Amino acid sequence: MFGSTMEYTTRNEKGEYDKKLVAQLKKIYPKFVKAQLTPHPPISAGLQASIHGASSMIDVSDGLAKDASRIAHASRVGINFFSKNFSINAQLALTGAEDHGLLATFSKNLKIPSEFQEIGEVVKLPGKILLDNRPIDAKGWDSHSGSHDF
């Protein structure tokens, strides 16, 4: 996709592009806005995950919880995230979107490639997403329907 996704996501209630909101976002969250406008998808990390035996992998573009739920449903497992392993608020990390990263699962006996960090574990609760062993809603962007449930 070419162009600025910021233009499409920063609309006011009339559906007009909101330059004031964009300016505010750039001032408050410059690092996140820059990452949104100039994504660097980790293609080589995906190759490394595959080489190191990842049992599943998905691009995190619709939100970490939403995309993790896709792995959970497809693999008939649950995923339990550990809030202590996030450098920012875990709830924000789990429900944000357009992260341009990868989520992969590895067997416990495998070495995780350096491009990845452990943020949770696979559990025997088919289709469930948890944060610190408590169920959470798998919120995020639904690219299939074009809607979000943040």
pLDDT (tens digit, 0 to 9) for every residue of the chain, 150 residues total? 233 344 445 555 666 666 777 777 777 777 767 776 777 778 899 999 999 999 999 988 888 899 999 999 999 999 999 999 988 788 878 887 666 689 999 999 999 999 999 999 999 999 999 999 999 988 776 666 666 565
- Same-domain pairing of 33 and 60: no
Number of domains in the chain: 2
If asked whether residues 48 and 29 sit together in one domain, one would say: no
23 and 51 in a single domain? The answer is no
Residues 52 and 87 in one domain: yes
Q: Are residues 27 and 48 in the same domain?
A: no
Question: How is residue 108 written in tokens?
Answer: 């416990």
Cβ proximity of 62 and 149 under 8 Å: no
Domain range spanning residue 50?
43-148
Residue the block writes with tokens 């944060």: 131
Look at residue 52 in the predicted model and tell me its pLDDT. Answer: 94
- The verdict on 62 and 129 lying in the same domain is yes
Q: Same domain for 67 and 141?
A: yes
The answer on 118 and 51 residing in a single domain is yes
H helix runs in the chain, sequence order = 5-9, 19-28, 30-37, 43-51, 64-75, 90-95
CATH of the domain at 105: 3.90.650.10
Rounded Cα distance between 50 and 12, Å, is: 42
Instruction: Look at residue 3 in the predicted model and tell me its pLDDT.
Output: 34
Residue 4: exposure state from Cβ atoms within 10 A (0-12, 13-18, ≥19): middle
Q: What is the pLDDT of residue 70?
A: 93
Q: 138 to each of 53, 84, 93, how far by Cα in Å? A: 26, 19, 12
Q: What is the pLDDT of residue 23?
A: 75
Of 25, 23, 57, give the one whose Cα is nearest residue 42: 57
Residues 85 and 139 in one domain: yes
Domain co-membership, 24 together with 93: no
Q: How far apart are CA 2 and CA 24, in angstroms?
A: 23
Give me the pLDDT at residue 71, please: 95
Predicted pLDDT at 37: 72
Do 25 and 90 share a structural domain?
no
